Structure 1
Amino acid sequence: MSRRLAVHVAVLCTVIASSAAAVTHLATEDRHRAFRQTGASIRITPATPASSYRFERLTAPARTVVRDERGVIVATFTDGARTAVINGPTRTFQNPAGTQVQVTTPAWVRLTPEPWTANAEHAAWLRPWLDAALTDRSDDVLAVAAQYLNGAAQATDAKAVRFRGDARFGRADFSDYLGVTWSFPGGPTEKPEPDGYGALDPAGYVRMVYGYRAGYPLRSASGAGTGLPRTPKAMAEFDAGAPIPADRLALQPGDLLFFAAGGTEVDSVGIFFGLDQNGRPRFVSSRKRTDGPAFSNDMALFNQGNRKSPVLHSVRRL
C-alpha cells in the first residue's frame, strides 16, 4: 500500500469513527431529552385527536410511539402492558401537607382495554380509545395516586364509603382502607381488618390506585384469581405487564418500582411519577417513616452502593 493511500485510509477510518460517535452521542442525548420531558421545566401543548397518526416502533422496552400530523408524540404504548402514557395538559403534583417536592409532568397515565402488542394499531378499539383519551381530563392513575398523600382531602361515595383521602401507614390492603368486604372474581370474599381502616401498606396502596380505582384485575390475599397480587414480592414476579430495564432513562410515569432491603428480597413497591423541580426522579410509596403514601424524600434510587437504603430491584409496567 502506498503512503498516500495509507493516509487516505486512515483519514476515512477517522471520519467513520467520528460519525459513529456522533450518532451514539445524539441517540444518548435523545434519551436524556425524552426523560427530561417529565420534568418541571417542560411546558408541552396538550395533544388533540388527529386526522391521522404515525406509529413508530422502539426498543428497550419494546413499545409503540404514536405521532400526530405535526410529528408530535401523543401517546406511548408498551408491549405486554395496559399502561399508556398520553400527552396532556401539564400538571404539578406535591404532598398537600407541605413537602418541598414538586413533580410537573405532561404525562397522563391510563389503562387500555387490553395489553398492547406489536401492530395493535390495527385493532378496532385503538382509534376510538386514543381519540377519547386525548381529550379525557378525568382522574388518571397519577391523579388518583396523589389522592392518598399526606394531607390529601377526604371524599366519600354514594354509599358513604371513604374512597380517598390521606392514608396512614399500616399492614392494610385497599379493602381495609375502605372498611368494606370485598369479593374477588373466582376467589374468596375477604372482610376488612378493623385496625386497617384508613391505612395502606406499599402493595395495598398500589392495589388501591391500579385495582380498586383504575380497574386493573386483582388477586385475593390467598392468591386466588389472575390479577395483581397482594405483596410487593409477588407483584415483582407477576406474569403480566412488561418488565422494564432498571435504568432511569427507561422509566415513565406510572411504572411500578420494586425495592429490596439490602438488595436481596423485594419488600416494597412504589409508583414512579417523574422528575421533581430539581431534576431528580421521584416515586410515591406508603412507608412507615412517612406514615403513609408520600413522595420519596431522596432519590438515591440508582445508588447501588448505599447498603443502608433499599435498593431498586426491578421495574414493571402494568
Structure 2
Amino acid sequence: MSSTRLGVIVVPVTALAALTSVGASAEAAQRAADPLKGHRFVYSKADGQYHVYNARRRHVAELTVGARTALVHGTKRTFREKTTKATVGTDAWVRKLRAPFATAQIRKAAFRKELAGLISSKSPDMLAIAMQYVVDAPAKKNAQGLRYAGDAHYGPLVDGKRQEGSDFNDYLGVTWRYFDNSIDKPEKAQYGSLDCSGFVRMVAGHRMGWPLENKQYTRTRLPRRAVELERYAPGRVVIPNKGGKPASLSMLQAGDLLFWDADKGDGKAVDHVGIFVGKDSQGAYRFISSRKTADGPTLGDVGGRSVLNRKGALYSDSFRSAKRI
C-alpha cells in the first residue's frame, strides 16, 4: 500500500520489486515473441542485399534474396595456414537459412526466430568447417567412431599424379543414398581424400546441410562437379561468367562459391571450385580450395597463390564467376 506525504507518492519496496518483476517479465515476453524486436532491415541497391542492424545500430547480418546463405557479423577470428604468411582476419560467420531468403520473410515470426538463432549461434560456420580439412588439421570422429574431419588429401597418387574423383563419401568411407535412391559406394583408394568439388560438397553439403545430388540437376541441390555447381547449384549469381577475368570483385562476400577455368587444356568450361574467405593481411582476396598441387584443401600459396587479385597469379587470371548458395 502507498502513502502520500507533501504530495509525494511513496511506494513500498516490495511493491517496487513487484512492478520491476512485472516489467521485466513483459519485456522478456516481448523478446520471446519477437527476438529481433528493434532490429532494422535495410535494403542496399549497391549490393542488392538486406543489411540487418540491431537496436544498438550494430551491423549484425546480411541477407541475399534467393540464397540460403546468411552472413552474420560476430566475434572476429583469424584464419592462417603454414604455407603462407598472409592471414585472414574477419568478423564474418557464414550460416545457412532453412530456405532461400525472400523479402516477405522479414515480418514472419518463424524466420525472425531462425535468424536470431543464427546471429547468436556459437557453432562452427562454413569457414571454420572448411579449415578442419587443411594440412595438419586434427581428426574429428563422431560417437560411432567415424572420422568426419581432419587433414584431407586431394586424391590417390597414381604414376606420380594426384587423381580426381574423391567425393565427400569417399573421404568418409561410407555408401551414400541420394534423394532418388541412387547409391554411390566409396572408393577405398580415395578414403580421406577430397577433390575440389568434393571439398565444397563436404563443407556446404554434408556438414552444413545444403542438399546434395549426383547427376539429377534439380537446381535445388549441390551437384557433383565444378562445372555443374556453376550451372545448376541453387542460389544467386554474384559474378556472371563472361568468359574472362571479372572486372570487379567488390560483390564477393565470405562463403561465396568461386569458379575458375584453371586448366587451359580442357576448353573454356570451368574446372575448379573453391570458397571465398575474405581479404587477407596483404590486401588480397583469399579463398580456400582443394588442389592437386597442395594435395588437399588449402588457403595457402603452394602451387599457386590462393588469391583473386594479383596480376599474373594462376588463380587470379583464371577466375571466372561466383555464386552465393
**Pairwise same-fold verdict (TM > 0.5):** yes
In the TM superposition, residue 308 of structure 1 has moved relative to its aligned partner by 9.0
- Say which of 259, 264, 283 aligns to 1:279: 283
Relative to structure 1, the CA distance from residue 239 to residue 102 in structure 2 (aligned partners, 3 Å threshold; closer, same or farther) is closer
Matches within 5 A, 1:1-318: 51-59=37-45, 61-95=47-81, 97=82, 99-170=84-155, 171=164, 172-220=166-214, 222-223=215-216, 226-238=220-232, 240-245=234-239, 246=246, 247-261=248-262, 262=264, 264-297=268-301, 298=305, 301-302=308-309, 311-318=318-325
CA radius of gyration, larger in: 2
> What's the CA shift string for 1:229-275, capped at 9, x where partnerless?
10000000025201003532111000000001248210000000001
- Matching residue's letter, 2:42: E
Tell me the distance in 2 between the aligned counterparts of 1:192 and 1:224.
21
3-state SS of 2:109 partner: coil
Which SS does the other structure have where 2:122 is aligned?
A: coil
- Describe the SS at the equivalent of 2:136: coil
Shift of 1:60: 5.4
Partners of 2:260 and 2:140 lie apart in 1 by 31
C-alpha contact (below 8 Å) 1:302/1:312 kept by paired residues:
no
2:159 paired residue number: none
Any conservation in 1 of the 2:284–2:309 contact (CA below 8 Å)?
no
Distance (whole Å) between structure 2 residues aligned to residue 165 and residue 284 of structure 1: 15
> Conserved in 2, the CA contact under 8 Å of 1:188 and 1:224?
no
Is the CA contact (8 Å cut-off) linking 2:154 and 2:291 kept in structure 1?
yes
CA RMSD of aligned residues (A): 2.1
Structure 1 segments unaligned to the other structure (5+ residues): 1-48
Higher relative contact order, chain-length normalized (CA < 8 Å, sep 6+): 1
Letter in 2 for 1:256: L
Contact kept in structure 2, 1:61 and 1:250, CA below 8 Å: yes
2:197–2:224 Cα contact (<8 Å) kept: yes
Deviation at 1:70, TM superposition (A): 2.7
1:59 CA drift (Å): 3.1
Contact 2:288-2:306 at 8 Å conserved across structures = no
1:83-114 CA distance string (max 9 Å, x none): 0100110111112x464231111011100011
SS of residue matched to 1:74: strand
The Cα of 1:123 is off from its aligned counterpart by 2.6
The answer to whether the 8 Å contact 2:88/2:277 transfers is yes
Question: Deviation string for 1:99-140 (max 9, x for gaps)?
Answer: 423111101110001101223212332211122122211111
Q: Runs of 4+ in structure 1 displaced over 6 angstroms?
A: 304-309
Structure 2 distance, partners of 1:187, 1:107, is: 37
**Secondary structure in 2 aligned to 1:134?**
helix
* C-alpha distance in 1 between matches for 2:61 and 2:315: 38
1:12: which partner in 2? none
In structure 2, give the amino acid aligned to 1:189: I
Structure 1 residues 281 and 308: alpha-carbon distance in aligned structure 2, compared to 1, 3 A threshold: closer
Provide TM-score, normalisation by structure 2: 0.77
Task: Write the deviation string for residues 261-299 of structure 1: whole angstroms up to 9, x where unpaired.
Answer: 248210000000001111211000000111100014225
Question: Does the C-alpha gap of structure 1 residues 118 and 148 become closer, same or farther in structure 2, counting only changes over 3 Å?
Answer: same
The one-letter code sitting in structure 2 at the alignment partner of 1:279 is G
Percentage identity across aligned positions?
40
* Greater CA drift, 294-303 or 74-83: 294-303
Per the normalisation by structure 1, the TM-score is 0.79
Does the 8 Å contact 2:307/2:315 carry over to 1? no
Aligned-residue offset at 1:302: 4.2
Unaligned runs of 5+ in 2: 1-34, 156-163, 240-245
The more displaced of 266-275 and 125-134 is 125-134
Structure 2 CA distance for aligned equivalents of residues 127 and 116 of structure 1: 12
Change (3 A) 1:306 1:132: closer
